[in-house]
Structure 1
Amino acid sequence: MPVDTKRIRGPEESQSPLLFLSPNKIPEAGSRQGSRGNGDVRPVFVRCGLISQAKGSAYLEAGNTKIICSVYGPREIERKDETDMKTGRLICDFRLAPFSCIKRGAWIQGSEERDLSATLLESLQPGVCLHRYPRSQIEVNIMVLENDGSILAHSVTCASMALADAGIEMYDVVLGSALRQNGDCCLVDPSYTEECGNWQEGYGENQGCVTVALLPNLNQVSGLNADGEMRGDTLAGAVRTCMDGCHKLYPVVQQALIRAVKRKAPPPEK
């Protein structure tokens, strides 16, 4: 049998590298890794206008979470009906890169990505003036380059910035914030380990994850996604904490959009 000399042959016996990972555990109050407190968010880096082929684009980094978004349109809808004639249509496509997670995924969109696409659409739609774009559609494409937790919340922020960079009329920017509840301890902007810790046993009593999408100037919640088992007062407190996190993020997004507008502005006449 011929041997492929160009292929590097691996050892006959091998083990998955996932076996050497430390078990996921939720830290208790005051024991979060690093100097970040339970109510602190990770440092955020945002920039607009990186994809030249798109009408608008944005890139966001929060710790090791890296997300890029592109916006195309408004463009004419091919198949028109009575609903499309009155208002525009917003389309959201959420994708996880195959190399973004610990376990490599596939390029084909899975059920989790379809659910995240629908949730992203519900969060962004109240902030976009779709009545200003009749008979047209606006496409929002999210690609998660590295998943280190809170991807839905940061995707909402990144998509909102890309829509603003594309010049789409909006009532307000939409910002996202996430929280991991572990008993009486809540972790704002959780990492992947904090978000998925103890997943083998499932959520226990008064535990879960909450993601809030907020219009900061209007102080209105446009999207809420909760998973787990939490008491009513705990869920209400988690929503308030996420809203405070959105307000803390707003100055960073505002400065990034101002810098993007200045770059696009024509030079002053001499």
Structure 2
Amino acid sequence: MLRVTQVKNSLLDGASIAEELYSTPQDGDNFFESLEKPAKEPENLAPRNTFIRAGVVTTVRGSAYMEYGNTKVLAIVSPPKELIRASARRMNMGVLNCYVNFAAFATGELESVPERERLLSSMLTKAMEPVVCRTEFLNFQLDVRVLILDDDGCLLSTAINCCGVALVESGISTYDLITASTACIYRDHVFLNPSAKMEELLWKHRTGTGTSTGSDSKDNTSTKSVQEHGLIITASLDTFEQIAQCQQCGYLSPETYMKLMDYTLAINKSLRQLVKGVLTARVREQHELDLREKAESALEDQRLAEVIERLKLRGLDEFIQSNIKEDPYVKKQ
């Protein structure tokens, strides 16, 4: 299938042919064979190389930036705002809305961006609703906005982790720290924290392009051999041992489903320790900043007190004359 993608910042303001002109099952097989196969039972349940920074946007109260491998996400939490009376309904909890947007340079699949944004926004909202204490802002709406800067797999789980840090940074009451991770299985190999290419391969397999054919020894008829292939995203609250959201696609047996969930929960615990360390460092940094501001304010108050004391002792006219200095650039006559 020929794909045409839009090219920006080029001399010819038109379209160019994409690098991958055709997508066939053989292409998927070749890509899978080129991968470094992990162990069927992974032992190192560790997250990717992770970088998290809270308070990156100074114009808002709550923000966070996260790099999970090559996946880069920015989250911003707006202050709660009152619902419009015409649209407000009698509810015993506030309203939480999450919006996901892709940067113009984040992906080349421009046609599928609106649909992906709507899907990710819906799933992110469902994952964050059990975390926020919505009973504390009745008839108010809380908006969380996520900007995708780069997508290299584990997009939803990275967005959940980043939003959790941004919510704590903004001072919104939460029940617990939320962490999320992704795992998948393809041809009996378990991939933890899969890349975007691996997720795309799973999606093609799900649509039927990756299924293989085999023969039945009993009736010698050609049938499709169904292999386990699927992806699972788990968001958890470790303090209460509660799962906030579990998203699954593909074909997984119950035993494999539970195995992948255990893997993701173990990765979530590692991410939780990292998030706790980031938030602790942020609180310490904010405390040192407050102490510095108090010290500067105390010095300013002391300076003003000295000025007022001199004004009382000398009088207004003498104080003004003592503070007048001659301009060295003006010639004396």
* TM bucket, shorter chain: 0.7 to 0.9
Asked if 2 retains the 8 angstrom alpha-carbon contact of 1:99 and 1:105, the reply is no
Partners of 2:284 and 2:21 lie apart in 1 by: 50
TM-score, structure 2 as length reference: 0.70
Structure 2 alignment gaps of length 5 or more: 1-9, 212-226, 296-333
Partners of 1:255 and 1:54 lie apart in 2 by: 22
Give the SS at the match of 1:213.
Answer: strand
Asked if 1 retains the 8 angstrom alpha-carbon contact of 2:37 and 2:189, the reply is no
Residues 60-105 of structure 1, C-alpha deviations (whole Å, 9 max, x = no match): 001110000000012211232211xx3211111011223212x242
Residues 113-148 of structure 1, C-alpha deviations (whole Å, 9 max, x = no match): 212111111111111101011121111001110000
Partners of 2:104 and 2:249 lie apart in 1 by: 25
1:267 and 2:269 matched: no
Report which of the two has the higher share of helix.
Answer: 2
Partners of 2:13 and 2:73 lie apart in 1 by: 34
Q: Which residue is equivalent to 1:98?
A: 104
Q: Which residue is equivalent to 1:232?
A: 254
Partners of 1:10 and 1:139 lie apart in 2 by: 37
Q: Which residue is equivalent to 1:140?
A: 144
Letter of the aligned partner of 1:46 in structure 2? I
Q: Structure 1 residue 20: deviation in Å? A: 10
The structure-2 alpha-carbon separation of the partners of 1:263 and 1:20, relative to structure 1 and needing over 3 Å to count, comes to farther
Q: Structure 1 residue 45: deviation in Å? A: 0.3
Give the SS at the match of 1:154.
Answer: helix
Partners of 1:29 and 1:148 lie apart in 2 by: 15
Partners of 1:9 and 1:81 lie apart in 2 by: 52
Q: Equivalent of 1:73, from 44, 63, 79?
A: 79
Question: Identity across aligned pairs (percent)?
Answer: 24
Partners of 1:122 and 1:147 lie apart in 2 by: 21
Letter of the aligned partner of 1:125 in structure 2? E
Asked if 2 retains the 8 angstrom alpha-carbon contact of 1:181 and 1:187, the reply is yes
Q: Which residue is equivalent to 1:17?
A: 19
Q: Which residue is equivalent to 1:168?
A: 172
Letter of the aligned partner of 1:226 in structure 2? Q
Which deviates further from its counterpart, 199-208 or 258-267? 199-208
Q: Which residue is equivalent to 1:89?
A: 95
Q: Which residue is equivalent to 2:11?
A: 8
Q: Equivalent of 2:240, from 214, 218, 230?
A: 218
Residues 207-254 of structure 1, C-alpha deviations (whole Å, 9 max, x = no match): 111000001222210101000011111111111111111001111111
The structure-2 alpha-carbon separation of the partners of 1:228 and 1:121, relative to structure 1 and needing over 3 Å to count, comes to same
The structure-2 alpha-carbon separation of the partners of 1:201 and 1:236, relative to structure 1 and needing over 3 Å to count, comes to closer
Partners of 2:59 and 2:97 lie apart in 1 by: 18
Asked if 2 retains the 8 angstrom alpha-carbon contact of 1:29 and 1:38, the reply is no
Which deviates further from its counterpart, 201-210 or 48-57? 201-210
Residues 165-194 of structure 1, C-alpha deviations (whole Å, 9 max, x = no match): 000000001111101111432111111122
Partners of 1:200 and 1:212 lie apart in 2 by: 22
Q: Structure 1 residue 29: deviation in Å? A: 9.4
Q: Which residue is equivalent to 2:188?
A: 184
Q: Equivalent of 2:50, from 44, 51, 54?
A: 44
Which deviates further from its counterpart, 161-170 or 90-99? 90-99
Alignment of 1:100-115 (within 5 A): 100-101=106-107, 103-105=108-110, 110-115=114-119
Which deviates further from its counterpart, 38-47 or 235-244? 38-47
Q: Structure 1 residue 41: deviation in Å? A: 2.4
The structure-2 alpha-carbon separation of the partners of 1:235 and 1:165, relative to structure 1 and needing over 3 Å to count, comes to same
Q: Which residue is equivalent to 2:62?
A: 56
Q: Structure 1 residue 262: deviation in Å? A: 2.2
The structure-2 alpha-carbon separation of the partners of 1:207 and 1:130, relative to structure 1 and needing over 3 Å to count, comes to same
Give the SS at the match of 1:149.
Answer: coil
How many corresponding residue pairs? 256
Letter of the aligned partner of 1:56 in structure 2? G
Letter of the aligned partner of 1:105 in structure 2? L
Letter of the aligned partner of 1:58 in structure 2? A
Structure 1 alignment gaps of length 5 or more: 1-6
Q: Structure 1 residue 55: deviation in Å? A: 2.1
Partners of 1:14 and 1:118 lie apart in 2 by: 33
Question: Whose radius of gyration is greater, 1 or 2?
Answer: 2
Q: Which residue is equivalent to 1:3?
A: none
Letter of the aligned partner of 2:170 in structure 1? A
